[in-house]
């Protein structure tokens, strides 16, 4: 049975300043790997074109051969994804990690997140349920719950689970990996996994839970002056919006309508997420580029 360490962790000194930030996004538009590394000999790649937005949209490619030194499909981050996921307040903790993924190989990928914390002893855990990423599906948005009930503790002397912070140093490494069962290591597989827009969220915004209809697009994108949230139907439904930078900060917010322009001239050039909310509580996020 999984056990947690709330009282012990509260007693431990803070060694590492929290680095993970709610709503942070890794979109790979800076032509780097955003500190996502791996252990085998096939390096990660920043692909400059063909992400979820199409032409000019960068993404991360993770490749494995299924044998030899390249057998594992796994990438890890111990930089901006380490720290206190509780964010100092349980009501606003990071509860989900979402991302756009595409299977560019021929084998089914069973994707999981795994985490490690070192409180003198090393504790590891993994998401209980995998998400199957099928070949030839194209890009899709997925979301992993990292709430305690959706996390499985891995082998350690006391069968404890990582608790993601609670006033202590929190997570020291996060992994994205392929495994049919909860694991710290990937199972061997020959695969190509494409990843974009990895985001820390307090509520899931994956495509399975978005209530907004009909299909919406943001146009033009990129843009230097205005954007319009376009519906494929001739409607002018009221919406509210937040524009979020890559550090998770809301830099612009307001109210508008579908098919009406939103001025973004005051934003500095760069990459943003526009969060759109309708009157019924439906939420949608789209990446935009301000040039």
What CATH number is attached to the domain comprising 243?
A: 2.60.40.1930
Residues 184 and 155 in one domain: yes
Q: What's the chain's Rg over C-alpha atoms? A: 20
Residues 191 and 261 in one domain: no
How confident is the model at residue 2, as a pLDDT?
37
| Single residue among 152, 173, 201 that ends a domain in this structure | 201
Residues 189 and 285 in one domain: no
Show the tokens assigned to 108. 């089914």
**Any domain includes 6:** no
Domain CATH for 59: 2.60.120.260
What is the per-residue burial (b if ≥16 Cβ within 10 Å, else e) of 175-185? bbbbbeebbbb
Residues 88 and 191 in one domain: yes
How confident is the model at residue 202, as a pLDDT?
86
Q: 163 near 116, Cβ under 8 Å?
A: no
- Which of 10-19, 195-204, 233-242, 278-287 tops mean pLDDT? 195-204
Q: Of 226, 223, 211, 229, whose CA–CA distance to 286 is shortest? A: 229
How confident is the model at residue 182, as a pLDDT?
93
Question: What does the pLDDT average to over 167-175?
Answer: 79
pLDDT single digits (tens) 98-129: 999 999 999 989 999 999 987 667 889 999 98
pLDDT above 90 (res 88):
no
Mean pLDDT of the chain, nearest integer: 82
How confident is the model at residue 3, as a pLDDT?
37
Q: 228 near 97, Cβ under 8 Å?
A: no
pLDDT above 60 (res 42):
yes
Question: What does the pLDDT average to over 34-51?
Answer: 93
Residues 194 and 224 in one domain: no
pLDDT single digits (tens) 227-277: 988 775 556 678 899 998 877 788 999 999 887 889 999 999 988 888 888
pLDDT single digits (tens) 181-201: 999 999 999 999 999 999 999
pLDDT above 70 (res 15):
no
pLDDT above 70 (res 11):
no
- Domain that includes residue 53, residue range: 24-201
Least confident of 22-26, 164-168, 241-245, 277-281: 164-168
In total, how many domains does the chain have? 2
Residues 166 and 284 in one domain: no
How confident is the model at residue 193, as a pLDDT?
98
The percent of residues above 70 in pLDDT, for the chain, comes to: 81
How confident is the model at residue 163, as a pLDDT?
66
Per the rule left: phi > 0, alpha: psi between -120 and 50, beta: everything else, 165 is: left
**Any domain includes 1:** no
Pairing between strand 109-118 and 96-103?
unpaired
How confident is the model at residue 184, as a pLDDT?
94
Question: What does the pLDDT average to over 200-211?
Answer: 58
Question: What does the pLDDT average to over 2-18?
Answer: 37
pTM equals 0.70
Residues 90 and 183 in one domain: yes
How confident is the model at residue 14, as a pLDDT?
36
pLDDT single digits (tens) 68-77: 888 999 999 9
């Amino acid at each position: 049975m999984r056990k947690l360490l709330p009282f012990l962790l509260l007693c431990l000194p803070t060694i590492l300043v929290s680095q993970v930030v709610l709503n942070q996004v890794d979109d790979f538009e800076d032509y780097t790997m955003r500190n996502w590394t791996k252990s085998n000999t096939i390096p990660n790649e920043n692909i400059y074109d063909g992400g979820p937005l199409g032409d000019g949209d960068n993404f991360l490619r993770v490749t494995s051969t299924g044998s030899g030194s390249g057998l594992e499909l796994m990438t890890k981050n111990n930089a901006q994804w380490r720290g206190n996921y509780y964010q100092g307040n349980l009501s606003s903790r990071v509860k989900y990690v979402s991302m756009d993924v595409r299977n560019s190989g021929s084998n089914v990928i069973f994707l999981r997140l795994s985490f490690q914390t070192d409180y003198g002893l090393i504790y590891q855990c993994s998401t209980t349920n995998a998400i199957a990423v099928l070949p030839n599906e194209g890009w899709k948005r997925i979301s992993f719950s990292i709430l305690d009930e959706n996390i499985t503790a891995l082998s350690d002397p006391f069968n404890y689970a990582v608790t993601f912070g609670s006033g202590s140093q929190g997570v020291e490494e996060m992994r994205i990996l392929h495994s049919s069962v909860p694991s710290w290591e990937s199972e061997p597989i020959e695969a190509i996994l494409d990843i974009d827009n990895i985001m820390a969220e307090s509520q899931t915004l994956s495509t399975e839970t978005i209530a907004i209809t009909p299909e919406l697009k943001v146009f033009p994108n990129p843009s230097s002056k205005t954007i319009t949230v376009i519906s494929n139907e001739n409607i002018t439904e009221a919406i509210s919006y937040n524009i979020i930078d890559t550090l998770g900060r809301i830099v612009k917010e307001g109210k508008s309508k579908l098919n009406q322009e939103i001025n973004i001239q005051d934003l500095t050039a760069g990459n943003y997420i526009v969060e759109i909310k309708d009157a019924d509580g439906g939420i949608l996020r789209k990446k935009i580029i301000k040039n």
